Amino acid sequence: MWVISGFGGYFPDMKSQSVIIGLLMVAPACGSPAPGTLEINLFNAPQQHLRDIADRCTKRAGGRYRIVVNLLPRDANGQREQLVRRLAAADTGLDVLGLDVTWTAELAEAGWIREWTGADADRARAGTLVKPLETATWRGRLYAAPYTTNVQLLWYRSDLLATPPATWEQMMSAARRLAAERKPAYGEVTGAQYEGMMVWFNSLVASAGGAILTPAGGLSLGPPALRALQVMWAYATSPAADPALPNTREDDARLAVEAGRAAFEVNWPYVYASMAANRPEMLPYFRWAPYPGITGPGRSPLGGVNFAISRYSKHPREAYEAALCLRDPESQKIAATRDGLPPTLQAVYSAPGMAKVYPMRQAILDALETAAPRPATPVYQNLSTVVGAVLSPPADINPPKTLATLRRQIGDALRSRGVLP
């Protein structure tokens, strides 16, 4: 309706108006198997070959339904915003939702996504890696089927660093040495005031042996959190820190290494494919190593996407089926080999063709063993906002004082009290 009223003013005569409306109505129907087929609406972040995956599943549905791909914004906050606004309005136009791993608790608690039970749940669990499966679970119930997963690794230039640093301390000393030799010295990390800050902080706290929340969902943030803050502050004020650190997101980190400004970065594996495309001459000495730790081995951030079924879907049966097809081994293989998204099904890692695109697949599987999921809580968004605001810019962290502020504000956030910055 809004289209008609919105354009009506510019096209006063009925003839051109009806032409436009006709065009608008025809456009989305292009390429459909048959008019009137049931549509299952998938909402997901932009992914280049998602449409191929959806078309494959439409074909497999044998004309019972067809999957329509609806693209959400590129950034996680924008995606969540669009989903929750529609869900809060009980929009029946959503069926399958591609959820970031951190949203499960929030959407489940609000009653916006359906529980997976019986045969569907069994199929979603079969062969799925443990850590991704945990991110789809809330209070012991399964709320989504893991589609892709992700871990950060340390990516470094072997022409500058003979051995990769294993701890944040070693990263700083490596940078100090490189800076003294007047070589690119920066080690990129996501220090901007956004989700990436939470990702960094959470992994450091976990690497120090602690957690932000207790398993029951209460406030934890003990001595390991203090250790994490000390490391963040030390790093942000060391020669390893890019002056743009307080504004660095994943893409900025990737570009800084590709541009030759930085010697290493902690980032998701997509940087490998990007390096191959943008700077093929640098690829031979662009290497990976486990996520750095504090004293022992580090615990990598855990990302990924899970498929959930909207509470307001009018065709849940078909939606579950579509979701299962969209994350079956064949679909995950397309996502992995063509879009660089690590699979959640263990078996796909040894599929043919994976070795070429995923030379680092063993490192990913190893990191997945110990990866640190971000806290599971319905108020995750508040937690993340508070962490981003309190720790930004990282060079201004004053460990004991910042920890006290964090404890107070996260405590408020857990009770959904207080104001978000």
- Binding residues for other proteins (CB under 8 A): 77, 81, 84-85, 88, 106, 109-111, 192-194, 243-247, 256, 259, 261, 378-379, 381-382, 385, 388-389, 392-393, 416-421
Q: Which is nearer to other proteins, 356 or 415 (CB)?
A: 415
**In whole angstroms, how close is the CB of 293 to other proteins at the nearest point?**
28
Residue 160 falls in which region: left (phi positive, over 0), alpha (psi -120 to 50) or beta? alpha
- How far apart CA 135 and CA 145 sit, in angstroms, is 10
Closest separation in Å from C-beta 180 to other proteins: 19
Nearest distance from C-beta of residue 88 to other proteins, angstroms: 6
d(CA 124, CA 133): 9
Smallest distance, other proteins to C-beta of residue 110, A:
5
Calculate the CA 268 to chain-centre distance.
9
Residue 157 φ then ψ, to 5°:
-95, 115
Let me know the angle formed at the C-alpha of 368 by 365 and 370, rounded to the nearest 5 degrees: 130
Which residues are within 8 A (CB) of 161 and not within 5 positions of it... i.e. 6 or more apart? 174, 178, 263, 264
Output 258 or 318, the one with its CB closest to other proteins. 258
Cis peptide before 393 (omega within 30 of 0): yes
Write down the least CB distance from residue 256 to other proteins, Å: 8
| Coarse DSSP helix, strand, coil percentages of the chain, rounded to the nearest 5 percent | 50, 15, 35
Q: Name the residue nearer to other proteins (CB basis): 360 or 387.
A: 387
Residues 6 or more apart whose Cβ sits within 8 Å of residue 218: 414
Q: Which is nearer to other proteins, 231 or 386 (CB)?
A: 386
Least distance from C-beta 135 to other proteins, angstroms?
18
Cα–Cα–Cα angle for 374, 47, 68, nearest 5°? 110
